Amino acid sequence: MHQHFPHLIDLDNYPVSTWNSIINLAIDIKRNQHIYVGACNGRIMATLFYEPSTRTQMSFQSAMLRLGGGIIGFDNPATSSVAKGESIKDTTKIASSYSDIVVMRHFIEGSVKAAALTADCPVVNAGDGGHLHPTQTLTDLLTLRAEKGALSGLTVGFCGDLKNGRTVHSLLKALSHYENNKFVLISTDELKVPTYIKDRITAYGKEYIEVNSLEEAIPQLDVLYMTRIQRERFGSPEEYEKQKNVFCLDKRKMKAAKKDMIVLHPLPRVDEIALDVDDDPRALYFKQANYGMYVRMSLILSILNEDIQTQPLLVGENIPEIKCHNPKCITASEPSLPHSFRNNNGILECEFCDERILTEQCRFI
């Protein structure tokens, strides 16, 4: 039943050597673009965006067009068959039969993996709810590699909402795989990095410190990764206004930073980076967005050329009597999916959304 294609659902499904290959190819594509013109002639990419994301979609589309391929898809489910009640499975099954690669974004966690189970071509996760967004992480890695020369030996500051940002979690996990990286986690007490991420940093032998002042942290950083702090995460509008100044980057704070520190941001920004920072040569967030196009060119090419090893989508056990507890998990809305769990030292992890259940808890369900 399961198709075998080199899907990209989660970076963790692939060894670090595969990440490095994708990044290296991206660097070559950026340097020698003319060689890759037409590399995907006659191939078709379907961009199925159940949730709008102009930047991600344009980035994938320009990547495919620069390789010579064509694009079909939708960005507005309200004007698509989805509105007629068609299931994700049926829509993606058909779209995948029209195309050579599917890029999918959906607001339900695990939905892209579920779609990949029955797709007729490789599927790339362009964001599944608050869960994963692997091509953003690849973009960040490429930017660091190209601009700092290496993915190791870096002191990287993360600032903003570190509790809810999937981008931050993924990049922390990814950078923990490389040597001698240190992390400075800059946030309010309420918006700290979750424990399971910090455990992973430690498990890979890396160090982190937690601070609550951007101003104090900035002088030691090689990289400052800013993220949006959503107004609604704060107790009150007054609290937001107060904290904003502490966690927003401006020209004045930049003065204390190293001459070769770089500032990144996954975008869109609202007001956590003042406009006057844009003209600072260390402000690389727009360039970072541009690297996103090159890393997606590399990914598309690697997948279509089958340079990426196909990985099984589900490796755990189907336990019909246990249900994932996460109400945002795709298994909650598509009952025909297997209840597939990895058993991780007595903790069951849902293979769609990575939600963890203690096996002891399961007995009482």
Interface positions with a second copy (CB under 8 A) = 1, 37-38, 41-42, 44, 46, 52-55, 58-59, 61-62, 65-66, 68, 70-76, 79-86, 89-91, 93-95, 97-99, 118, 120, 267-270, 275-276, 278-279, 286-287, 289-290, 293, 336
Please, are residues 236 and 261 in contact by the beta-carbon 8 Å criterion?
no
Measured from the CB atom, the residue of 59 and 181 that comes closer to a second copy is: 59
Please classify residue 294 by burial: count the beta carbons closer than 10 Å to its beta carbon, then call 0-12 exposed, 13-18 middle and 19+ buried.
buried
Sheet holding 340-344, edge to edge: 317-318, 340-344, 347-350, 356-358
CA distance 191 to 185: 10
- In this structure, the strands spanning 317-318 and 262-264 are unpaired
- Least Å distance, CB 30 to a second copy, is 12
Specify the residue, 1 or 365, whose C-beta has the smaller distance to a second copy: 1
Quick check: 48 and 95 in contact, CB under 8 A?
A: yes
3-state secondary structure of 333: helix
Q: Name the minimum Å distance from CB 213 to a second copy.
A: 26
> Shortest gap between Cβ of 23 and a second copy (angstroms)?
19
Residue 198 has which token pair?
């910090």
Reduced to 3 states (helix: H, G, I; strand: E, B; else coil), residue 349 is: strand
Residue pair 349/342 in contact (Cβ under 8 Å)? The answer is: yes
Nearer to a second copy, 59 or 170 (CB): 59
Comparison of 80 and 152: residue with beta carbon closer to a second copy = 80
End-to-end Cα, the chain, rounded Å: 29
Nearer to a second copy, 277 or 329 (CB): 277
Smallest distance, a second copy to C-beta of residue 129, A: 16
Min separation Cβ 350 and a second copy, Å:
20
The CB-of-99 to a second copy minimum distance in angstroms stands at 6
Rank residues 59 and 243 by Cβ distance to a second copy and give the closer one.
59
Dihedral through CA 295, CA 298, CA 302, CA 308, nearest 10?
-30
Q: Which is nearer to a second copy, 72 or 315 (CB)?
A: 72
Nearest-Å Rg of the Cα atoms of the chain is 21
Shortest spacing between CB 54 and a second copy, in angstroms:
4
Task: Classify 306 in phi/psi space as left (phi over 0), alpha (psi -120 to 50) or beta.
Answer: left
